[in-house]
């Protein structure tokens, strides 16, 4: 039975993942990611190519001094150079110097590459594979062989591709990893070729696929279905060109849908956090629509969908999001129905009374506002204020009397100077304040809080974390814009929105909501703990 069969995960984020165009990891980054992968339960972690750069060499020097709970650290390198003995090859010495329990050797299995890339004979390449595996097997715990371009090679010259595998086995390789290096193979081809390979070799097989045809995950899964026991890939699918097989999709598919034993169930619940942690360390935006672990993976927007999910989540969710540590999200938009509004309101700890007309009023307001360009999916604090206003629980805290913003550039070589003047009223007491800032919006934010902090000292805790502007209607310099602001304090993070033909006015709306939301939270126990937090 598949549930009795173990599948081993081999993570190559620290090598293949760093070949992604936008990713560069420091040594500390690599160590931190490796520690999290080990804690999660990944079986093999490929640290890099010690013969290629000082950074990888330093990583291995640190790794060998550390204790690893679950994973075996692997170093990666090519078979010996053409015409060289293993003992004389500097790359072989670097691999052994890494002192890892596992060494993964990559070798050519496509005759075209042997001739065009290595510029050597087919027999010499087979000798290099066999001799390198044999050399390493005598010196380390395990040797894996990455059969580079295997599927392309097999499709063009199956006899030679199999000979290359036999050479690795003869040298002592314990697992043969079949690589779809160019990412162009179809699932049917993967399945057929693996079945044929299993007739020719008796050692365990692995799979290493690339995503150039958007099939890396599918090809990995069908490989397992046909007897492969090691799956190589990266966190979030990072990798060269279109990326590598995404372990964040492969793992839950194998364990939840296909019944294989991969990691303990309690660890699988940490997948969402692990995925986001790696993207944070890599300093790249997390893919919102990434299956299983993306923010949108279990997000529901259409009113009929939300209503059905509330009755039975299986209507529009293929798994329980909690299984992978994710969560269901109900989005508020012009597609929303009454069920969306009620679900989102209850999510925030608020409750409309039965048949309360305020619920219908909020729905109509949201549809009208979104038609005008507002977006509440990333501005849940503005949404809560809107609901509280409809429920009669809204407190304005202050009234804007006027604002003026001056942005002045005095010479070509100097930076512009921004100054904002704010007039507000709090309980009938007017405050007139000016402040400078790094741009007009920052100046207005500074002036507003300067004016209000004497009344509300807790505003000193608020920080503006992110500011986004989106043009929402085409009209040249007179286009309407939507401003999304993310704010936070020591306890929470929240989003607010403003829309106007004037970017300063839109910014004011979002800033005003942000401050009012903070003041509401600071005065009412049991409210929402953060629009996005």
The rounded mean pLDDT for the chain is 88
Check pLDDT > 60 for residue 282. Answer: yes
Tokens of 189: 């081809």
Confidence of residue 532 (pLDDT cuts 50, 70, 90): very low
Residues 266-275 have pLDDT tens digits of 999 999 989 9
Terminal Cα-to-Cα distance of the chain (whole angstroms): 42
Cα 49 from Cα 98, distance rounded (Å):
9
* Structural domains in the chain plus CATH codes: 2-282 (3.20.20.70), 299-371 (no CATH), 399-455 (3.30.160)
Cα 14 from Cα 44, distance rounded (Å):
12
Q: What is the DSSP string of 31-64?
A: HHHHHHHHHHT-SEEEEE-TTT-HHHHHHHHHHT
Confidence of residue 458 (pLDDT cuts 50, 70, 90): very high
Nearest in space to 48 (alpha carbons), one of 33, 36, 68: 33
pLDDT at 526: 42
pLDDT at 521: 87
Residue 512 in 3-state DSSP?
helix
Give the residue-averaged pLDDT of 304-323. Answer: 74
Cα 165 from Cα 175, distance rounded (Å):
10
Q: How far is CA 415 from CA 119, 412, 434, 506, in A?
A: 57, 8, 20, 24
In 105-186, alpha helices (H) = 111-113, 122-137, 150-156, 158-171
For residue 328, how many other CB atoms are within 10 A of its CB? 19
Q: What is the DSSP string of 372-438?
A: TT---TT-HHHHHHHHHHHTT------EEEEEEEEEE--STTSPPEEEEEEEEEETTEEEEEEEEES
CB-neighbour burial class of residue 1 (10 A; exposed 0-12, middle 13-18, buried 19+): exposed
Tokens of 100: 């890892």
Cα 107 from Cα 82, distance rounded (Å):
12
pLDDT at 161: 98
Strand order in the sheet with 493-500: 463-471, 481-488, 493-500
For residue 359, how many other CB atoms are within 10 A of its CB? 19
Give the residue-averaged pLDDT of 162-182. Answer: 98
Confidence of residue 533 (pLDDT cuts 50, 70, 90): very low
Cα 380 from Cα 506, distance rounded (Å):
17
Q: What is the DSSP string of 180-214?
A: ETTS---HHHHHHHHHHHHHH--S-EEEEEB-TTS
Give the residue-averaged pLDDT of 115-130. Answer: 94
Give the residue-averaged pLDDT of 244-248. Answer: 98
Confidence of residue 530 (pLDDT cuts 50, 70, 90): very low
């Amino acid at each position: 039975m598949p549930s009795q069969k173990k599948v081993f995960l081999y993570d190559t984020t620290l090598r293949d993942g760093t070949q992604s165009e936008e990713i560069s990891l420091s040594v500390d980054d690599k160590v931190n990611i490796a520690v999290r992968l080990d804690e999660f339960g990944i079986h093999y972690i490929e640290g890099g190519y010690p013969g290629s750069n000082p950074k990888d060499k330093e990583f291995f020097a640190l790794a060998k001094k550390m204790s690893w709970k679950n994973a075996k650290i692997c170093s990666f390198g090519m078979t010996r150079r053409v015409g060289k003995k293993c003992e004389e090859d500097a790359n072989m010495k670097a691999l052994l110097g890494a002192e890892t329990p596992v060494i993964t050797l990559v070798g050519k299995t496509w005759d075209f590459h042997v001739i065009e890339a290595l510029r050597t004979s087919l027999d010499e390449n087979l000798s290099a594979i066999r001799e390198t595996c044999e050399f390493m097997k005598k010196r380390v715990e395990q040797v894996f062989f990455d059969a580079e371009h295997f599927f392309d090679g097999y499709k063009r010259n199956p006899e030679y591709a199999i000979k290359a595998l036999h050479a690795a086995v003869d040298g002592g390789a314990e697992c043969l990893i079949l690589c779809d290096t160019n990412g162009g193979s179809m699932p049917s081809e993967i399945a057929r070729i693996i079945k044929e390979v299993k007739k020719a070799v008796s050692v365990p097989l692995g799979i290493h696929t690339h995503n150039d045809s958007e099939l890396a995950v599918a090809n990995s899964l069908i490989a397992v279905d046909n007897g492969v026991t090691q799956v190589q890939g990266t966190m979030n699918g990072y990798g060269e060109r279109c990326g590598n097989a995404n372990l964040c999709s492969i793992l839950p598919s194998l364990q939840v849908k296909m019944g294989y034993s991969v990691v303990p169930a309690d660890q699988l619940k940490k997948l969402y956090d692990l995925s986001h942690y790696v993207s944070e360390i890599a300093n790249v935006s997390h893919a919102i629509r990434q299956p299983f672990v993306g923010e949108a993976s279990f997000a529901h927007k259409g009113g009929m969908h939300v209503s059905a999910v509330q009755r039975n989540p299986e209507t529009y969710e293929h798994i329980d999001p909690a299984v992978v540590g994710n969560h269901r999200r109900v989005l508020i938009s012009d597609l929303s129905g009454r069920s969306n509004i009620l679900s989102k309101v209850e999510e925030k700890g608020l409750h409309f009374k039965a048949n309360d007309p305020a619920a219908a009023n909020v729905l109509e307001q949201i549809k009208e506002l979104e038609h005008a360009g507002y977006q509440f999916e990333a501005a849940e604090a503005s949404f809560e204020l809107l609901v509280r206003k409809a429920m009669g629980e809204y407190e304005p805290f202050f009234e804007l009397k006027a604002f003026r913003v001056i942005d002045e550039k005095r010479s070509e070589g100097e930076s512009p100077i921004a100054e904002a003047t704010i007039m507000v009223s709090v309980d009938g007491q007017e405050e007139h304040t000016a402040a400078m800032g790094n741009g007009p919006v920052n100046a207005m934010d500074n002036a507003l809080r300067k004016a209000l902090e004497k009344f509300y000292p807790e505003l000193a805790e608020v920080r503006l974390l992110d500011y986004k502007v989106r043009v929402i209607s085409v009209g040249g310099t007179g286009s309407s814009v939507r401003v999304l602001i993310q704010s936070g304090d020591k306890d929470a993070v929240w989003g607010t929105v403003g829309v106007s033909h004037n970017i300063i006015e839109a910014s004011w709306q979002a800033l005003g909501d942000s401050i009012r939301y903070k003041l509401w939270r600071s005065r009412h126990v049991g409210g929402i703990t953060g629009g996005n937090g």
